[in-house]
Amino acid sequence: MSTEVVILAENLGKRYFLTHRRGGRSQYTALRDVIADGVRNFFSAWLFSKDRSRWTDKEEFWALREVFLEVKKGEVIGIIGRNGAGKSTLLKILSRITEPTTGCVGLKGRVASLLEVGTGFHPELTGRENIFLNGAILGMTQAEIRKKFDEIVAFAEIEKFLDTPVKHYSSGMYMRLAFAVAAHLEPEILVIDEVLAVGDAAFQKKCLGKMGDVAKEGRTVLFVSHNMAAVTQLCRNAIHLQNGRVVDSGPAANVVNRYLASGQSDAATVDLRDFPTRTGSGTVRFEWGEMRGSEGEARRDFSIGEDVIVAFRFQAGAGFHERQVRLAIQLRTSDGISLCNMADMDSDFAIKDFCGAETISVRLPDVRLYPDTYYLSLWVGSITNIDVYDWVRDCLSFEIVGGGQLTTRTLPRSAGLLFWTPTWTRLPAASSPSTARSFQVPTL
């Protein structure tokens, strides 16, 4: 690998303003706002009409913060982190698709980026025309593009559809062509965001192979992925982003291992054998844990009101002979608030004939929590609660991503934690308490 620096980013930051509009039908509205707004409306709508900012809550939000990055020619860097960590934002800044709020980027060479399916593709143009268009955007001559043309078409396996407008392509075909163009048009820097999420296993394998070739040719690759095996296999180094900041960097295998062990990963299944944050005697130990949907499929993203299943396995060491163990699960929010402690006994569940290993499934029904990330800790101890055998903290996590069947309104986490749908009833006037004072309209 050369020592020539091709990407130099200093103090990169990206700020967004999140707007929570009050009063809209589909937006969050707190009860106190309904009352306050009602009074305002009644007296002085005109007063506020010219100043809409008074009707909105603007929240400053840093998607990226103080990121320094130096990438050498021929380096293949993996960028990992949870959903919303800022990975795509970083790639967009590096590809000059968006401007940073702070800091600056220096780039040496042509950058081809594959950020979303078919970025840079024109839907009305055919596959053939888009290949030429993208080549031209990358600064290549017609002759250079023609030289690569057959290779691109063969890689994308779209020969038959070459003269069809890409808007008629399936998402897989779109992706194949987009990847083939980005990888074959010899950019000096190739920026790839989560391509492996689309396409079948064979295509994913082919993409990984191609990215490896690109790297071998001495070109630089930045690769964002949630596929930890691919990151470890393909990248020499990696950085871990968390809440917009770089929290770890170094050889890819080490960064990936620390990321998985920290419970910060987006993995639904977690190997708990070497999980670091745990206490207890270790006479019984958790082996793995998994978040599942109601059909038993491994997943971490849920809508409000869905059933969330936690499955795990634990095993006793050789000298352990107790026939009973007690289990508990602790649930907390992303800002550390303990939400509940679910003990097996409260659900009339007990293991009375334990003989060394158990696999358990716990269904949390109708989870009515606001969108956020929630963390689970697993506990196994003696029936007396005195001995803690194993207590693995924040080892599993799941995401509530939206209102699902229950609501389409926006639900900022700052507005609450529990999504309740109480019964609302309109009462006749006669049912007012006799002592109720009538509402007095103050004179202006």
Q: Which does 83 bind (CB under 5 to 8 A by kind): Mg ion, ligand ATP, none?
A: ligand ATP
CA-CA distance, 83 to 97, in Å (whole number)? 20
Of 175, 112, 120, 162, the residue nearest 139 (C-alpha): 112
Whichever of 86 and 305 has its CB closer to Mg ion, that residue is: 86
Partners of 111 in the beta sheet?
Answer: 189
Report in angstroms how near the CB of residue 16 gets to ligand ATP at its nearest.
3
Q: The tokens of 388 are what?
A: 């803690």
CA-CA distance, 290 to 310, in Å (whole number)? 6
Using CB under 5 A, pick the residue from 77, 81, 88, 113 that binds Mg ion.
88
Using CB under 6 A, pick the residue from 12, 88, 130, 285 that binds ligand ATP.
88
Whichever of 86 and 118 has its CB closer to ligand ATP, that residue is: 86
Length of the chain: 444
Phi-psi region of 290 (alpha: psi -120 to 50; beta: other; left: phi over 0): beta
**Only segment of 58-66, 87-95, 210-218, 342-350 that touches Mg ion (CB under 5 A):** 87-95
Is the four-CA dihedral 134, 139, 140, 142 of positive or negative sign?
positive
**Only segment of 43-51, 83-91, 124-132, 412-420 that touches Mg ion (CB under 5 A):** 83-91
Whichever of 88 and 126 has its CB closer to ligand ATP, that residue is: 88
**Only segment of 68-76, 87-95, 276-284, 430-438 that touches ligand ATP (CB under 6 A):** 87-95
Using CB under 6 A, pick the residue from 71, 89, 140, 230 that binds ligand ATP.
89
Tell me the CA distances in angstroms from 126 to 21, 93, 171, one per residue in order: 42, 29, 15
CA-CA distance, 261 to 275, in Å (whole number)? 5
CA-CA distance, 291 to 269, in Å (whole number)? 7
- Window 41 to 70, contacts with ligand ATP (CB under 6 A): 63
Question: Among all chains, which residue has been given the structure tokens 């839907």?
Answer: 123
Whichever of 280 and 402 has its CB closer to Mg ion, that residue is: 402
Mark 224-259 as b/e (b = at least 16 C-beta within 10 Å). Answer: bbbbbebbbebbebbbbbbebbbbbbeebbebbeeb
Q: Which does 89 bind (CB under 5 to 8 A by kind): Mg ion, ligand ATP, none?
A: ligand ATP
What value does the CA radius of gyration of the chain take, rounded to a whole number of Å?
A: 27
**Only segment of 83-91, 177-185, 285-293, 410-418 that touches ligand ATP (CB under 6 A):** 83-91
Q: Which does 225 bind (CB under 5 to 8 A by kind): Mg ion, ligand ATP, none?
A: none
Using CB under 6 A, pick the residue from 2, 44, 83, 338 that binds ligand ATP.
83
Q: What does the binding site for ligand ATP look like in residue numbers (CB under 6 A)? A: 16, 63, 81, 83-89
Q: What does the binding site for Mg ion look like in residue numbers (CB under 5 A)? A: 88
